[in-house]
Amino acid sequence: MELFAGMLAFLLWLQVQAVHGQSVQMDSSKSGFVGTQVELRCIFVNSNPPVKISQVTWQKLSNGTKQNVATANPTLGVSILSPFKERVGFKQAAALQRHQMEDTTIVFSNLQLSDEAAYICEYTTFPAGNRENMVNLTVFARPMTRMTLTSPTIVARGKKRNMTVATCTSANGKPPSTIKWSTLLKGEATLQETRNPNGTVTVRSSYVVVPSRETHKQKLTCIVTYRGERITDSVVLNVQYEPEVKIEGFDGNWYLNRQNVQLTCRADANPPVTIYQWKLLNGSLPSNVEIKNNTLFFKGPVTYDLAGTYVCVAINGIGTRTGVVDVNITEKPMPQGPPGGVIGILGGVVAIGLIIGVAVTVFMVHRRQQKTRTETDNDLTDLPPAHKPAPPPPKKKNSDMKGHLTSDDIQVVHLDKDEEMQKLPLQPPYYDMAPSESTPFTDKPNSGHKDCDVQYAELDTAALASSPSPRSSAHTGPGDLVEYATIQPSSH
Ligand SMILES: *[C@@H]1O[C@H](CO)[C@@H](O)[C@H](O)[C@H]1NC(C)=O
Ligand SMILES: *[C@@H]1O[C@H](CO)[C@@H](O)[C@H](O)[C@H]1NC(C)=O
Ligand SMILES: *[C@@H]1O[C@H](CO)[C@@H](O)[C@H](O)[C@H]1NC(C)=O
Ligand SMILES: *[C@@H]1O[C@H](CO)[C@@H](O)[C@H](O)[C@H]1NC(C)=O
Ligand SMILES: *[C@@H]1O[C@H](CO)[C@@H](O)[C@H](O)[C@H]1NC(C)=O
Ligand SMILES: *[C@@H]1O[C@H](CO)[C@@H](O)[C@H](O)[C@H]1NC(C)=O
Ligand SMILES: *[C@@H]1O[C@H](CO)[C@@H](O)[C@H](O)[C@H]1NC(C)=O
């Protein structure tokens, strides 16, 4: 009987629940930034007949433990517990004073990361019992984002090595940012994430490139994305590099009595070249030269004395590099034009003559046969293809010395350039000699290296500068052995 009464009471209670369903209405989740204010809504939906609210309790559920935040009691009033006292209050404090307990929304001001938790709003009622609901509060922290260049100017040394040129940091963000880079630079980004004890994350990305002439003035953009918001920052690299030198002016056709020849040292450098020096590997510069800045003017007619290996030393704040050109003097002007020696040109002339002869003959014959035809039908382009220059006569592989040492410290680079010369007869040959610490010496001449456009070897310019000028100190003639440097192709 008692059991029956109990069950009846329970069913009655269930019915009250279902029909008059009192409920606690809350948002399922709320979020706010550190330092801002956020409302945690809690509304008791009363029913008819209304139940009696005896107490409302707010609790913080964090890490599995509950902590009281605030209570409201019709008889005892409201109380906010520490450590929330300073920053939490009931939104409808006045109504609560009047025992209107339906809205117990609380307001957090000056939100802190530690406020992130679930909050339970619990109504104790009679006779309905307890009703509660929960809201998840998420606290965001806006990161500090900045991009820094490793240094205002980056120095590209001769030795190529990876360097961090810029770093992009998004510090103490919650949730973490993502960092991307946008640039034409060939490089790599590193990414590092540091989780702070307070739940924020510092994301740092560095951009690594091998600084070089090519990376100078390149733009580097860092793109930070924080909660869908894009923050971009750009820098332009300022790379300092040693001079890249070439000598212009020798066209391979310096013949006796030619006038007004000159050699110009062209250097690309950052900062600009401050000093240009000219040397003749085989001795002192001819007496009739005049040096103006980076140009060597040869006054008067060309003589055999001008022949030799000319070296231009270009110095800027970063380093010293040299350009080299082998000047030889011919007795007669070299035939200009497409590749080929005298035979080729003669062959060409003969071929042109033949073609013209054939063309004229055909034309005349054609004319005679088809007098009524208009002249436009006679298209000379139908004739055999224009002359092809005969291949140049095979040139003797010039494995002889191009220059001679005036000091043991000078390394002479021998460059086999016959093939280039055939392909590019009008291109003045130049060689750029770059420092390369690891270059070993070898006495073997022409030690099997391949022909290269540009080859590098170390040149001790101090030794050059102090080299004695009299030519008598030098060896002469082709075939003399000098010291060779092993040539490393420039791609190293
Ligand atoms: C609130 O957070 C807890 C744990 O973080 C999770 O289990 C629960 O589903 C969340 N509730 C809502 C309504 O998002
Ligand atoms: C959460 O609880 C775990 C163990 O229960 C403890 O190691 C950790 O420090 C707690 N975290 C916070 C924020 O209280
Ligand atoms: C620079 O780093 C990249 C990627 O790690 C690597 O492929 C490259 O060889 C490195 N270059 C140098 C000169 O160290
Ligand atoms: C979180 O911690 C980091 C380092 O511990 C600190 O620099 C940052 O100011 C903190 N953020 C907040 C919002 O307290
Ligand atoms: C050398 O170059 C400087 C700057 O380029 C120029 O002002 C000066 O006139 C030049 N001197 C000669 C002799 O060409
Ligand atoms: C002179 O130099 C040119 C190109 O540097 C080369 O083709 C030619 O063979 C040289 N002539 C002599 C006589 O050394
Ligand atoms: C080197 O100098 C000597 C005179 O000292 C000269 O006879 C010789 O032709 C020079 N060699 C070259 C390649 O200029």
Q: What is the residue-level pLDDT of the chain in tens, covering all 492 positions? A: 555 555 555 544 544 444 457 899 999 999 999 999 999 999 999 877 788 999 999 999 998 999 999 999 999 999 999 999 999 999 999 999 898 999 999 999 999 999 999 999 999 998 888 999 999 999 999 999 999 988 888 898 878 889 999 999 999 999 999 999 999 999 999 999 999 999 999 999 999 999 999 999 999 999 999 999 999 999 999 999 999 999 999 998 999 999 989 999 999 999 999 999 999 997 888 888 999 989 999 999 999 989 999 999 999 999 999 999 999 999 988 776 555 444 555 555 556 666 666 565 655 656 666 554 433 343 333 334 444 444 444 433 333 333 333 333 333 233 233 333 333 333 333 444 444 333 333 333 333 333 333 333 333 333 333 333 333 333 333 333 333 333 333 333
Q: Do residues 133 and 162 share a domain?
A: no
Tell me: do 189 and 223 sit in the same domain: yes
The rounded distance, in Å, linking the Cα atoms of 178 and 200 is 13
Q: Are 400 and 409 in contact (CB under 8 A)?
A: no
Q: How far apart are CA 56 and CA 131, in angstroms?
A: 10
Q: Which of 93, 86, 92 is nearest to 109 (CA)?
A: 86
**330 is a domain residue:** yes
Nearest to 176 by CA among 227, 239, 110, 233: 227
Q: Which residue owns the Cα nearest ligand 3 atom 10?
A: 162
Domain boundary among 76, 106, 140: 140
Q: Cα dihedral sign for 171, 177, 183, 186? A: positive
Say how many Å lie between the CA of residue 72 and the centre of ligand 6: 104
Tokens describing residue 83: 């450590």
Q: What is the DSSP string of 325-362?
A: EEE-EESSPPPPSSS--HHHHHHHHHHHHHHHHHHHHH
Q: Are 46 and 20 in contact (CB under 8 A)?
A: no
Q: Are residues 442 and 324 in the same domain?
A: yes
pTM: 0.61
Closest to 237 measured CA to CA, from 186, 273, 192: 186
148/232 same-domain check: yes
Q: How many domains does the chain have?
A: 3
210 shares a domain with 194: yes
Q: Which helix (H) or strand (E) holds 149?
A: strand 144-149
Residue 153: phi and psi, rounded to 5, are -125, 140
Q: Has residue 217 been placed in a domain?
A: yes
Same domain, 129 and 158: no
Task: Tokens for 64, please give them.
Answer: 């599995």
452 and 328 share one domain: yes
Query: What's the CATH number where 227 sits?
Result: 2.60.40.10
Does residue 220 share a domain with residue 195? Answer: yes
Which atom belonging to ligand 3 lies closest to the Cα atom of 188?
Answer: 4
Has residue 376 been placed in a domain?
A: no
CA distance 96 to 101: 6
Q: Which of 87, 105, 140 is the last residue of a domain?
A: 140
Please give the Cα distance from 125 to 52 (Å, whole number).
Answer: 5
Q: What is the DSSP letter of 174?
A: B
Quick check: is 377 in a domain? no
Q: Is residue 72 part of a domain?
A: yes
Nearest to 189 by CA among 220, 160, 219, 211: 220
Same domain, 455 and 474: yes
Residue nearest to atom 8 of ligand 7 (CA): 476
- Ligand number, closest to the Cα atom of 274: 5
Nearest by Cα to 334 from 267, 400, 428, 240 = 428
The continuous run of DSSP H or E covering 267 comes out as: strand 261-270
Going by alpha carbons, the residue nearest to atom 11 of ligand 1 is 136
Does the CB atom of residue 167 touch ligand 7 within 6 A?
no
Q: How far apart are CA 414 and CA 455, in angstroms?
A: 9
Give the residue whose CA is nearest to atom 7 of ligand 5. 293
In a domain, 352, yes or no: no
Question: What domain range is 124 assigned to?
Answer: 21-140
Residues 233 and 266 in one domain: no
Ligand in nearest proximity to the CA of 401 = 7
Question: Which among 206, 237, 268 is the end of a domain?
Answer: 237
| One domain for residues 330 and 452 | yes
> Is residue 477 domain-resident?
yes
Instruction: Determine, yes or no, domain membership for 2.
Output: no
Looking at the fold, whether 251 and 208 belong to one and the same domain comes out as no
Residue 191 to residue 204: CA distance in whole angstroms: 6
Q: Which residue among 293, 294, 296 has the greatest number of ligand 5 atoms within 8 angstroms of its CB, and so is best to mutate?
A: 293
Strand pairing report for 329-330 and 254-255: parallel
What is the rounded distance in angstroms from the CA atom of residue 50 to the CA atom of residue 8?
21
* Residue 289 to residue 145: CA distance in whole angstroms: 60
